[in-house]
Amino acid sequence: MIKLERINKTYYSGAPLHVLKGIDLHIGKGELVSIMGASGSGKSTLLNILGILDNYDTGNYYLNDVLIKNLGETRAAHFRNKLIGFIFQSFNLINFKNAMENVALPLYYRKVGRKTRNRMAVEYLDRLGLKDWAHHMPNELSGGQKQRVAIARALISKPQIILADEPTGALDSKTSAEVIQILRDVNREGMTMIIVTHESGIANLTDKIIRLRDGVIERIDDNSGHDASRFNPDNIK
Amino acid sequence: MFDLDRWNEIFVTISRNKTRSFLTAFGVFWGIFMLIALLGGGNGLEKLISGQFEGIASNSCFFWSGRTSEAYKGFRKGRYWRMNNKDVEIIRANVKGLEVIAPMLSTWANSDNVVRGEKKGTFSVQGNYASYNKIDNHKMMFGRYLNDIDLKEHRKVCVIGSRVYETLFNRGEDPLGHDIRIDGVYFKVIGVGEGGDNISFGDDKRNSITMPLTVMQRIYNYGDRVDILCAMAQPGIAVSEIHQQIETILKANHSIAPHDKQAVNSFNLETMFSQVAGLFTGVKLLAWIVGFGTLFAGIIGVSNIMMVTVRERTQEIGVRRALGARPSSIMGQIMSESFTITAMAGFLGISFGVLVLQMVDLGLSKDAGETTVFQIDFYTAIVSATIITCMGTLAGLGPAFRAMKIKPIEALSEE
């Protein structure tokens, strides 16, 4: 599904910063994986590369057996739209569009007709229990509701993988648990999901934990028993 | 390109900051309004002034005598001389490229010199050739202008101006064939000229009476005297050519020094026409420069505001990019926004400009009875609309490129 081979990435703003130092990674279809690491460990950069938002310098990235390398902006946009669903910490809803229009946006860029995509958007909102909120603007929604709208938006394009960057970072613990539960449910339906987080409690709910440190993979923990939290003092639960 | 969603989006973004959009649009509106108003005003002025020349052949020149300024062939300087019928003959026989030569006599009116029954009035009298009509075309309200037989047979006939008709005849009365008394001699009215506010020699055409030159010379005891010589060049011949020839002949005939600059007065309509035409070319050029400059300032304003908008919407654009918006789609969005603001304001400005010109024109026409003059033509309007459309699109180009360069990661990391 996802195969990274010796990925290197250096930023050249000011002094050269070697952020990713030869990442090798394999993530299979339907896995629920979390990426953990301190700030500066390169986890955001890794996520950007996985999400085709950023280029890498050397190595190979295969997504669905397609080599994703040095794509033009237009092709990158095409792949993002088709293969990847994004969930952000700060939701990133467009604040002058209502919930339904926000959810329907990826389909707009896929040139789906207005009626069809709005109907689909309402369906997805319904699945996330937000049908009654379809015509509300983002500023009329709570944080948890906003993130659920964002999840619906990530799902509507039926992507191959979902990338979630600190999906619970802006939410209280109760809503966090709800949102994670939704993500787990989605994963159970077969969706490959990668969650970047620094909360070990969240990471503990995933099946595999990838620990990054200073641009290299320090360790990959198999967490199918969901018992990683035992070894961590900063547990949220 | 034309889908409802995009237009809806454009409308939403424009109306999100109404004051700013309005002020930006106003810059463009004012620019195009200035352009239209200046062009229309220039047009109107040109038509008003060129209306004065209507009916006058532009390839003509006129001569009248003055005092000599040089002694020559035994004559002292400061001598006054007169043109006569012989000059006309010689000029007609010798000047190459001459189409028409028409001598003219004119008198200023004595008080109540024209009488018909109880009615009387003061009007100036001119003696003309029939061919003068080719140089200064008389529009006839009734009847006809003089013809060659009138001159040859010395018929006592006359063409009267419209005011003369109004003074001597009752409203609606047929003047043709009636006699009027001019300076004691009876003349038959053969035509009534409309006259207008054209340029003319002597009095206003409406206030003057024209009779055959040959008759006037006899009745007023002028002998073979001629006051003014009117000449028209053949098509394709420059007026200055015949002008030079005629002047030379006149000087030779009347023993005037060849280099005497004051003895022969003349007036070349062609030069005057080209000066006036040059003036209006200048006015038009100025109108385009000023109008276009103002418009350009407005367009720069649009471009500027679009830059700000792009800056403000960085995060939104980043989200769109992450969700799969192609760069071209972002670019298209920004450009159509700039295009919409410019086009809407521009078309409104054109319409408003046309409306104002029309009102000016209406106000003017009431007292002058003119046809539409203070207006731009359809072609100019189309050109202006095209300029607006192109500039609106161009104004969006810079901001659109900036928007296109926004990388999703940079935009998303900006909170």
For testing the chain B interface, which of A45, A53, A153, A162 should be mutated: the one with the most B CBs within 10 Å?
Answer: A53
Is the predicted pLDDT of residue A235 greater than 80, yes or no? no
Cβ contacts (< 8 Å) between A110 and chain B: which residues? Answer: 324
CB contact under 8 A, B319 and A92: yes
Per-residue HEC secondary structure of B367-393 comes to HHCCCCCCCCCHHHHHHHHHHHHHHHH
Q: Give me the mean pLDDT over the B136-148 stretch.
A: 88
Cβ contacts (< 8 Å) between A106 and chain B: which residues? Answer: 323-324
Please report the pLDDT score of residue B365 as a whole number.
60
Q: Which helix (H) or strand (E) holds B181?
A: strand B179-182
CB A47 within 8 A of CB A97: no
Q: Give me the mean pLDDT over the B192-207 stretch.
A: 71
Is the predicted pLDDT of residue B414 greater than 80, yes or no? no
The complex's ipTM works out to 0.88
CB contact under 8 A, B327 and A106: no
Please report the pLDDT score of residue A237 as a whole number.
41
A118: closest chain B residue by CA: B5
Min Cα distance B300 → chain A (Å) is 27
Q: Which residue among A78, A88, A114 places its CB closest to the CB of B412?
A: A88
Domains (ranges, CATH) in chain A? Answer: 2-235 (3.40.50.300)
Which residue has tokens 């050519």? B241
Q: What does the pLDDT look like over A171-226, one tens digit per residue? A: 888 888 889 999 999 999 889 999 998 888 888 888 999 999 888 998 888 887 77
Is the predicted pLDDT of residue A40 greater than 90, yes or no? no
Q: Give me the mean pLDDT over the A156-176 stretch.
A: 89
Closest CA to B385 of B349, B357, B356, B355: B349
Q: Give me the mean pLDDT over the B276-281 stretch.
A: 87
Residues of B within an 8 Å Cβ radius of A:
4-5, 12-13, 16, 315-316, 318-329, 407-409, 412, 415
Of the pLDDT bands very low, low, confident and very high (cuts 50, 70, 90), residue B201 is: low
Stretch 132-161 of chain A: residues touching chain B, C-beta under 8 Å: 153, 157
Closest CA to A210 of A22, A23, A10: A23
B328: closest chain A residue by CA: A74
Please report the pLDDT score of residue B61 as a whole number.
92
Between A39-43, A230-234, B74-78, B275-279, the lowest mean confidence (pLDDT) is in A230-234
Min Cα distance B413 → chain A (Å) is 10
Count the residues in chain B. Answer: 415
Q: Which residue among A77, A82, A90 places its CB closest to the CB of B326?
A: A77
CB contact under 8 A, B324 and A92: no
Is the predicted pLDDT of residue A124 greater than 90, yes or no? yes
Between residues A228 and A166, the one the model is more confident about: A166
Q: Which residue among B315, B319, B326 places its CB closest to the CB of A74?
A: B326
Of the pLDDT bands very low, low, confident and very high (cuts 50, 70, 90), residue B136 is: confident
Of the pLDDT bands very low, low, confident and very high (cuts 50, 70, 90), residue B372 is: low
CA B368 to chain centre: 15
Cβ contacts (< 8 Å) between B318 and chain A: which residues? Answer: 92
Please report the pLDDT score of residue A236 as a whole number.
43
CB contact burial A164-173 (16+ within 10 A = b; e otherwise): bbbbbbbbee
Min Cα distance A208 → chain B (Å) is 26
Closest CA to B286 of B29, B82, B34: B34
Q: What does the pLDDT look like over B347-356, one tens digit per residue? A: 999 999 999 9
Cβ contacts (< 8 Å) between A105 and chain B: which residues? Answer: 320, 323
Please report the pLDDT score of residue B1 as a whole number.
44
Q: What does the pLDDT look like over B27-42, one tens digit per residue? A: 999 999 999 998 888 8
Beta-carbon pairs below 8 A across chains A and B: 61
CB contact under 8 A, A73 and B315: no
Between A3-7, A38-42, B233-237, the lowest mean confidence (pLDDT) is in A38-42
Please report the pLDDT score of residue B157 as a whole number.
95
Q: What does the pLDDT look like over B239-268, one tens digit per residue? A: 888 999 999 999 999 999 998 888 999 988
CB contact under 8 A, A109 and B325: yes
Q: How far apart are alpha carbons B21 and B30 in whole angstroms?
A: 14
Between A11-15, B148-152, B356-360, B411-415, the lowest mean confidence (pLDDT) is in B411-415
Of the pLDDT bands very low, low, confident and very high (cuts 50, 70, 90), residue B204 is: confident
Interchain CB contact of A55 with B (< 8 Å): no
Is the predicted pLDDT of residue B123 greater than 50, yes or no? yes
CB contact under 8 A, B320 and A80: no
Of the pLDDT bands very low, low, confident and very high (cuts 50, 70, 90), residue A149 is: very high
Of the pLDDT bands very low, low, confident and very high (cuts 50, 70, 90), residue B375 is: confident
Is the predicted pLDDT of residue A3 greater than 70, yes or no? yes
Q: How far apart are alpha carbons B259 and B267 in whole angstroms?
A: 17
Please report the pLDDT score of residue B2 as a whole number.
54
For testing the chain A interface, which of B5, B319, B321, B323 should be mutated: the one with the most A CBs within 10 Å?
Answer: B323
B318: closest chain A residue by CA: A92
Is the predicted pLDDT of residue B369 greater than 60, yes or no? no
Please report the pLDDT score of residue A27 as a whole number.
92
Of the pLDDT bands very low, low, confident and very high (cuts 50, 70, 90), residue A13 is: confident
Cα angle A40-A44-A48, degrees, rounded to a multiple of 5: 145
A80: closest chain B residue by CA: B324
B408: closest chain A residue by CA: A53
